[in-house]
Amino acid sequence: MKLYLKIWRQKDANSKGKMVDYTMEGIEGDMSFLEMLDVLNEDLITKGEEPIEFDHDCREGICGTCSLQINGRPHGPDTRITVCQLHMRRFNDGDTIVIEPFRARAFPVIKDLIIDRNAFERIQQAGGYVSVNTSGNTVDANAIPIEKEMADKSFNAATCIGCGACVAACKNASAMLFTSAKVSQFALLPQGRVEASDRVRSMVRQMDLEGFGNCTNTGACEVECPKGISLENIARMNREYLSATAKG
C-alpha cells in the first residue's frame, strides 16, 4: 500500500507543534500500526532526519502506553483494541492517515506523539490501595466469601490499563471512567471497604485537581475503551462519593 501520513511533530513541551506530511510505500497489511511507524523511523534515520517519538512497550494490548489519536479516534478505527493491535489491513491503498497525541490539558505533550499521563498515576496514588495486610501472615483469600457477581465486576474494572482513551474520547476530557474503574475494583470487594469513603473522596479530589473535565454522559469513553470498561462504574463511583460526603 501507498499511504499518506500527517503526523504531529513537536520538539518539546514548550515548543509549538505542527502537522508534518510523510509518504510511505510498500506497506503490508499484516504490519501492525506501530511496525509501520518503525519502518517510517528507519527511513528517517537513514536520511539523517529526526525520528518520530512515540510511546510503546509490551505491544500486546496490555500496558496501554501506545496511545495515539488516529483519524480522530483514540487507538484508531477498530474497537476494543490498542494501537499495537491495529493492523494496516484496516486501511486502504492511497489513504491519508492523521496521527496525533491524545489531546487533554491534563495530558501535556512531551515530544511528538508522547504525552505525560502522570496525572493518572497521581489519582491512583491518592487512594488506589487497600490497608489490609498483604505480607507475612496473610489470610487465605478463600477464607473471605465473595459473591461471584461482585468478584467478576471487580475483575472487569481492574482490567483498565490506564491508556487514557476515555479522556481523549470525551469532549470535556473527563477521567471519570478511569477513576471510577480504580474506585470500583476495590469498592466491590470486602478488602476494599475498610477505607472506601476516604478512597473515593481522595481520588475524586485528585482527579479534579489534575484539571480533568466533568462527565458528559455521552458514553464515548466506554465505546473507545480498549477493555470495554462499563459506564456502570461511573454510576457506582457517584454513589460511593455521595455516601462518603454524606458521612462527612
Question: How confident is residue 134, by pLDDT bands cut at 50, 70 and 90?
Answer: low
Question: How confident is residue 131, by pLDDT bands cut at 50, 70 and 90?
Answer: confident
Residues 97 and 180 in one domain: no
Residues 13 and 84 in one domain: yes
| Cα 145 → chain centroid | 32
What pLDDT does 145 receive? 85
Q: What is the CATH number of the domain that holds 150?
A: 1.10.1060.10
How much is the pTM?
0.94
Residues 228 and 122 in one domain: yes
Question: How confident is residue 90, by pLDDT bands cut at 50, 70 and 90?
Answer: very high
Residues 17 and 47 in one domain: yes
What pLDDT does 130 receive? 86
Number of residues that this document lists for the chain: 248
Q: What is the CATH number of the domain that holds 95?
A: 3.10.20.30
Residues 198 and 238 in one domain: yes
Residues 121 and 243 in one domain: yes
Which of these, 192, 186, 181, lies nearest to 231 by C-alpha position? 181
What pLDDT does 136 receive? 63
Place of cell 487497600: 130
For the segment 22-80, what is each residue's pLDDT rounded down to a tens digit? 999 999 999 999 999 999 999 999 999 999 999 999 999 999 999 999 999 999 999 99
Are residues 132 and 193 in contact, defined by beta-carbon separation less than 8 angstroms? no
Residues 92 and 29 in one domain: yes
Are residues 94 and 157 in contact, defined by beta-carbon separation less than 8 angstroms? no
Residues 30 and 93 in one domain: yes
What pLDDT does 191 receive? 87
Q: Grid coordinates standing for 194? A: 475498610
Classified as helix, coil or strand, 32 is strand
pLDDT at 139 > cutoff 70: no
What pLDDT does 138 receive? 65
Q: How many domains does the chain have?
A: 2
Interior angle at CA 218, CA 221 and CA 96, nearest 5:
60
Residues 224 and 153 in one domain: yes
Provide the H-helix boundaries in the chain.
Answer: 33-46, 118-127, 148-158, 165-169, 176-187, 196-209, 220-224, 232-247
What pLDDT does 137 receive? 65
Residues 180 and 59 in one domain: no
Residues 53 and 99 in one domain: yes
Task: Give the pLDDT mean for 238-247.
Answer: 94
User: What is the domain extent for residue 122?
Assistant: 117-132+141-247
Residues 239 and 153 in one domain: yes
